[in-house]
Structure 1
């Protein structure tokens, strides 16, 4: 099966800390590169080439989903898929699919050979492409973290890449015809379908043979239907087709999976010509996908072929398949990497700036001569994080302030690295509700912590509850909370408890006064990226990633608290956030902009060093 979903109700690992091929590739390029991208969450700007890849892949998938037996070459119709509540195709709900209600075209209108089938598929690409392109442009332009211009990419180049993919797919169709259809052709002709069928406008169970099913030699329309690869349904919500390792610590998503021959061929689509260092990572990616397929099929099904389709060059690159022994070793190596960087929080020292050689490739992903750059640290020269890393001498003069004067007031400034997002407090339990042991081993409880005249409400975090809670907790007991997340809610201190928090009985003389908990902070920082900007439709927050010399943090403002200055703030600006609220998001500090907070632009990006 091309999809293996983890149980969302009982995950075996933190679903936000799974390993992926892109992370492994980044780690192999340079451990510090991975650290900045995934631990510090410093996402780099999105170039317009991203939208080309998205548009091309979606258009290819829409063409593959169409049927020459149902959809004429110039039709405005499409074999669209209804979606379930989670955004995945509603394969188990047969009443909502378009396919069963359609009447087949007269056979006289079906393609009869490769040339006519290619002409039909090219016309279908023409019918879909502009919509796919426009949606990809709109999605890219909606990102406040984009860089460059739509004018930097060639629309016709993207269109030609779709045609290249069609020709490569027709190579598989021709091979299917030459093989007489393959071992599963008769079962398919009788109406049998895979549990995860290739998207074709029909539900999982249909009960009837396809109109294109024949009884003699395989025709071109029949081969199109039977040999159709599995792919991510273009109507589905993102990340609903991922496949997770049986232990759930690694996940990936295949582009195309051909199964008509009785064996598995995994294909990765690349909307590029295959030059440059990235092509080395693509090879590793395909080999990991081969290993993942093997792991998710009880180690009994090894892919027969791994291929990269370079649509810009119009060539197929065969990737050497890992042997069984290599896949066992790969699983052990990847498991150790997961334990090192995701089962715990690694420090920068655990992720040294140790770059691998920069690789060279020619068109089609062919290794160039020489295969690597002569300078061992050439990768550092073009690294997006070179201004942050001690492995580079690129200086971007990040701020490190202790005081700033604004609005007739001197504001004490806290460096990001000194922000305390976790607090310890001691007090008496009042109004205890619970504790209740949950199925996942965590404890649900709610109470007020009182220390003299000072109070704080204590409750589980919305992102998880604690597991370390003393059995001796009771009304009136004096307890110590460590690792709590402090905030102010409607004028009262609130302590949220999660998996990093603990509640124990306080010892004699144990003190951690509630009154000393700091929930406000002021920072002077450089803006690394604009993560979100309100659009009046589905985004109602302003979110940025910020840096100073001591570290990085997130900052967010919602609705009426979005500062007027937000519209003028861009990547590279130096700003002060005054009287912000201390928080934590995804394990890193967060400065929330709420009542009483102010955001001031100190220097625009034109006056600061380039990242």
Structure 2
């Protein structure tokens, strides 16, 4: 399975208690960048490229989910696929614009105006071309070892590759409202030839389709280390030939400032796959760069190297967990601030001497003149946010124990306040075991932790 369930409860059930690929690569680039970004939460303004990386990946996955019609040649299949890129680029542009408008702190208000549909179309086209290379290889291999099984309507994998017309696999289906009532019908389905017939080009597309993060699934689709201290979310897994190759999708080119971190990221994923799949090793690791339509391949770690990688990652994890705590000086002294030359370094390159002299790398000069952040609902200064509230209403709709967002079994109910329905849930297992004792009664909850999930109070 390319996805799994997190450990039940405890500090390792919480995201910040686990080692991830992004945290690891940031830590390897600059430990102070990791500390300020991941632990303190000190980030810089959002760039359009950060949003594009997400929406372009989802747009490419939407294209790969489609079912091609019966085609007589590779040229026909390629034409069919590329003809759909324009509409996909328009959808990506719209999704990106909506995400950009929701950002509170941007590099500049008009930065998104420099994003053009033509550039999105180019990158999606590059991603489709990379996948078509797999389709061509699959066709040359006669469809791979699973062709006849698929022709018989069988699915060779426990977690199928996402495609139109097939229901998505939710890691925690019990947390999806009315999941059994949803319809996943599609206007087209896969077309298969009779048993024993030569593989067709549209069949090669269906067989070569990888597993990828299903854009229809809002839950994390991660792998979790059996001991709970590491997790990772793969972009794409190629497995049509009976082997496993892991792929990370990048929206730019191999010459980007962050490209040096790709091999570390993929090695971490390969190690995590080995730890979660009974010692199975991946046969390949690749980065797919959409803008240049390039694939960059790396040799995966062997099974003999896994023990050493475990020790290495465990030592990094321990170092992260044992970082300095309590009040932390910021800005750092000029002696301990980093140079700011490493990709992603922003606040960690800012220093101030004992005499009050500031040191800011030239490319971070914007930090000297931070823009004022305008507050608008639902945002407010941290000092004005209530940490605890008291709320009254009628308690109804009990459920649980059921997994919360950390897969911890907790009790839940609904508090009816006027015409509002507010979800009430234990903050952790055993926090309020008598919650269901007051059902269908007017109650007052004291010292409750307020929150919002999908624009709904809870």
1:167 corresponds to which of 119, 129, 136: 129
- Using the TM superposition, name which of 10-19 and 130-139 deviates more: 10-19
- How many angstroms apart in 2 are the aligned matches of 1:311 and 1:258? 17
Contact 2:168 2:214 in 1 (8 A): no
Q: How does 1:21-32 map to 2 (within 5 A)?
A: 21-32=21-32
2:149 corresponds to which of 187, 190, 198: 187
- Structure-2 residue corresponding to 1:58: 58
If asked which structure has higher relative contact order (CA below 8 Å, sep 6+), I would say: 2
- Structure-1 residue corresponding to 2:359: 393
Question: Is 1:15 aligned with 2:11?
Answer: no
Contact 2:30 2:342 in 1 (8 A): no
Contact 2:59 2:92 in 1 (8 A): yes
- Structure-2 residue corresponding to 1:118: 78
- How many angstroms apart in 1 are the aligned matches of 2:104 and 2:342? 26
- How many angstroms apart in 2 are the aligned matches of 1:232 and 1:382? 25
Q: How does 1:197-276 map to 2 (within 5 A)?
A: 197-200=160-163, 201-203=165-167, 211-215=191-195, 216-237=197-218, 239-276=219-256
- How many angstroms apart in 2 are the aligned matches of 1:243 and 1:338? 17
2:312 corresponds to which of 333, 341, 356: 333
Partner SS for 2:247: strand
Question: Is 1:310 aligned with 2:282?
Answer: no
- How many angstroms apart in 1 are the aligned matches of 2:408 and 2:290? 49
Aligned length: 360
Partner SS for 1:254: coil
- How many angstroms apart in 2 are the aligned matches of 1:47 and 1:154? 15
- Structure-2 residue corresponding to 1:279: 259
Q: 1:353 to 1:66 in 2, by over 3 A?
A: farther
- Structure-2 residue corresponding to 1:137: 97
Residue 122 (structure 1) shift: 1.2
- How many angstroms apart in 1 are the aligned matches of 2:206 and 2:81? 13
* Bigger Rg, which one: 1
Partner SS for 2:249: strand
- Structure-1 residue corresponding to 2:414: none
- Structure-2 residue corresponding to 1:593: none
- How many angstroms apart in 2 are the aligned matches of 1:331 and 1:248? 13
Partner SS for 1:5: coil
* 1:568-611 alpha-carbon deviations (Å, 9 max, x no partner): xxxxxxxxxxxxxxxxxxxxxxxxxxxxxxxxxxxxxxxxxxxx
Contact 1:32 1:353 in 2 (8 A): no
Residue 4 (structure 1) shift: 1.3
Partner SS for 2:83: helix
- How many angstroms apart in 1 are the aligned matches of 2:351 and 2:142? 58
- Structure-2 residue corresponding to 1:68: 68
- How many angstroms apart in 2 are the aligned matches of 1:59 and 1:271? 11
Q: How does 1:67-106 map to 2 (within 5 A)?
A: 67-69=67-69
* 1:230-288 alpha-carbon deviations (Å, 9 max, x no partner): 01112221x52111111222111111111110000111111101223300011211111
- How many angstroms apart in 1 are the aligned matches of 2:408 and 2:191? 53
Contact 1:212 1:225 in 2 (8 A): no
- How many angstroms apart in 2 are the aligned matches of 1:31 and 1:327? 24
Partner SS for 1:308: strand
- How many angstroms apart in 1 are the aligned matches of 2:215 and 2:93? 13
Residue 213 (structure 1) shift: 4.4
Contact 2:6 2:13 in 1 (8 A): no
Question: Is 1:4 aligned with 2:21?
Answer: no
Contact 2:212 2:236 in 1 (8 A): yes
Partner SS for 1:58: helix
Contact 1:291 1:327 in 2 (8 A): yes
Residue 340 (structure 1) shift: 2.6
- How many angstroms apart in 2 are the aligned matches of 1:303 and 1:441? 31
Q: 1:336 to 1:466 in 2, by over 3 A?
A: farther
Residue 160 (structure 1) shift: 0.6
- How many angstroms apart in 1 are the aligned matches of 2:321 and 2:245? 30
Contact 1:113 1:220 in 2 (8 A): yes
* 1:494-545 alpha-carbon deviations (Å, 9 max, x no partner): 8899xxxxxxxxxxxxxxxxxxxxxxxxxxxxxxxxxx9x9xx9389xxxxx
Contact 1:353 1:390 in 2 (8 A): no
- How many angstroms apart in 2 are the aligned matches of 1:465 and 1:266? 36
- Structure-1 residue corresponding to 2:176: none
1:319 corresponds to which of 292, 298, 322: 298
- How many angstroms apart in 1 are the aligned matches of 2:324 and 2:146? 48
Partner SS for 1:379: coil
Residue 302 (structure 1) shift: 0.9
- How many angstroms apart in 1 are the aligned matches of 2:211 and 2:408? 38
Q: 1:192 to 1:344 in 2, by over 3 A?
A: farther
Root mean square deviation of aligned Cα: 4.0
- How many angstroms apart in 2 are the aligned matches of 1:466 and 1:3? 28
Contact 2:32 2:348 in 1 (8 A): no
Greater fraction strand? 1
Question: Is 1:152 aligned with 2:114?
Answer: yes
